[in-house]
Structure 1
Amino acid sequence: MKIDLKGKTALVTGSTAGIGHAIAKGLAAAGAEVTVNGRTREKVEAAVAAITKTVPGARVHGVAASVSTVEGCNTLVTALPEVDILINNAGIFEPKDFFETPDEDWSRFFEVNVMSGVRLSRAYMQGMLKRNWGRIVFISSESALNIPTEMIHYGMTKTAQLSISRGLAELTRGTAVTVNSVLPGPTMSEGVETFVKALAKQNGQSVEEAAALFVKQHRPTSLLQRFASVEEVANMVVYVASKEASATNGAALRVEGGIIQTIA
Structure 2
Amino acid sequence: MSKIERDKLLVAVVLILVVSMDMLNTSMLASLLPRIPNVIPFLGVRFLYFKEYSLTFLIFAPLLFLVGCMIYFKTGTLNASMFIFLIIVLYKVEYESVLKLYAGLGLFFVLLIVFLSAIDIIPNLQFVQYRSTGIVVRNSFGFIYPTDFASHCFYIYMVISYLYRNKFIFQRTFSGLALAGFVTHFCDARLNAGSILAATGIFLYFYYRKHIKLFLKPMNWEKMFVSIELYTNVSIKSYSHKLVNMSIFRAGGSSAMG
Shared fold per TM-score greater than 0.5: no
The structure carrying a bigger helix percent of its residues is 2
Q: TM-score, normalised by structure 1?
A: 0.29
The structure carrying a bigger strand percent of its residues is 1
Indicate the structure (1 or 2) with the bigger Cα radius of gyration: 2
Q: RCO higher in 1 or 2 (8 Å CA, sep ≥ 6)?
A: 1
